[in-house]
Amino acid sequence: MTAWEKLVCLTEDELARIDIAEVNSACAVGLPGTESLDVSFCRKTLDEWADKVRWQTIKHFPQFERRPHDFYYSRSYFRVLALITVVQRERNILGLEALENMLNDPELERNWWEPMRGKKWLTKRPSTAFVDFSGSGCRIRFAATLEAAYSINVGARLA
């Protein structure tokens, strides 16, 4: 019996005592595109984000107390803003690191960036980007029209 099949046999009370991340991970296993899913890395990332959200909420709570009208007098609204702030910062950091690594990749420089700067027509160009998060960071692979895919490893870490 798979993990999700065990979960559906639980009562509501039993299910409520299980971490939502565990439930979601168990249900994701075996779905198309999850073959390389690193569940422990995802869990660690979620735990790190939860710690950051907790810290951000505590740090900025005096703002809510001073100006509750800015948050519609809702602590829940304030907490959601703290969550969004943390997740957006993490995404921006990964995005900037990915961009920097793409621009500095010698293979991409030779095949795409240099010809484009020279205003040469690219018969083979990146058409699709695939992003895979794992314990070692973020791997970005490009599929190019009319040629094999190029891969680079992004040294991004969630800290």
Domain residue spans of the chain: 1-33, 36-154
Nearest to 3 by CA among 55, 32, 52, 39: 39
Residues 21-43 have a mean pLDDT of 85
Residue located via tokens 């959601």: 80
Please give the biggest Cα pair distance in the chain: 65
For residue 126, list its beta bridge partners.
144
What pTM was computed for the model? 0.54
pLDDT, one tens digit per residue, over 101-133 is: 777 778 878 877 788 788 777 666 666 766 666
Can you list the positions of beta strands (E) in 19-101?
Answer: none
The pLDDT value given to residue 46: 86
CA distance 16 to 14: 5
Residue located via tokens 């599929």: 143
The pLDDT value given to residue 42: 85
